[in-house]
Chains A and B, each alone.
Chain A
Amino acid sequence: EPEVTQTPSHQVTQMGQEVILRCVPISNHLYFYWYRQILGQKVEFLVSFYNNEISEKSEIFDDQFSVERPDGSNFTLKIRSTKLEDSAMYFCASSDEGSGANVLTFGAGSRLTVL
Chain B
Amino acid sequence: GESVGLHLPTLSVQEGDNSIINCAYSNSASDYFIWYKQESGKGPQFIIDIRSNMDKRQGQRVTVLLNKTVKHLSLQIAATQPGDSAVYFCAESDQAGTALIFGKGTTLSVSS
| A residues in contact (CB < 8 Å) with B | 4, 31, 33, 35, 41-45, 48, 50, 55-56, 58, 91, 93, 97, 100-109
Q: Please measure, in the bound complex, the distance between the C-alpha atom of A53 and the C-alpha atom of B86, giving whole angstroms.
A: 34
Are B99 and A91 in contact (CB-based, < 8 A)?
Answer: no
- For residue B104, which residues in chain A have a CB less than 8 angstroms away from its CB? 41-42
Residues of B within 8 A of A (CB): 32, 34, 36, 38, 41-46, 49, 89, 91, 93, 96-105
Total number of residue pairs linking A and B with CB closer than 8 Å: 64
Task: Report yes or no: B100 in contact with A104, Cβ–Cβ below 8 A.
Answer: yes
**Complex Cα–Cα for A105 and B47 (A):** 11
* Interchain CB contact under 8 A, B49 and A103: yes
Pick the residue among B32, B91, B97, B103 that contacts A31 (CB under 8 A): B97
B100 touches A45 (CB 8 A): yes
Which of B41, B42, B89, B97 is in CB contact (< 8 Å) with A43? B89
Q: Closest 3 CB pairs between A and B?
A: A106-B43, A101-B97, A43-B102
Known: A31-B97, A104-B100. A43 touches B49 (CB 8 A): no
B99 contacts A48, C-beta separation under 8 Å: yes
Q: Is the CB of B97 within 8 A of A109?
A: no
Within the assembled complex, what's the spacing in Å between the Cα atoms of A27 and B43?
18
- Distance in Å: Cβ of A46 to nearest Cβ of chain B: 9
In the complex, which residues of chain A have a beta carbon less than 8 angstroms from the beta carbon of B45? Answer: 106
* Contact between chains at B89 and A101 (CB < 8 Å): no
Bound: A35/B93 CA distance, A: 15
- Given the complex, which residues of B lie within 8 Å of A48, measured CB to CB? 97-99
Question: Given A45, A103, A108, which contacts B42 in the complex, CB threshold below 8 Å?
Answer: A108
Give, as a whole number of angstroms, the nearest-CB distance from A35 to chain B. Answer: 8
CB pair A102 B49 closer than 8 Å: yes
Please state if B43 and A42 are interface contacts (CB–CB under 8 Å): no
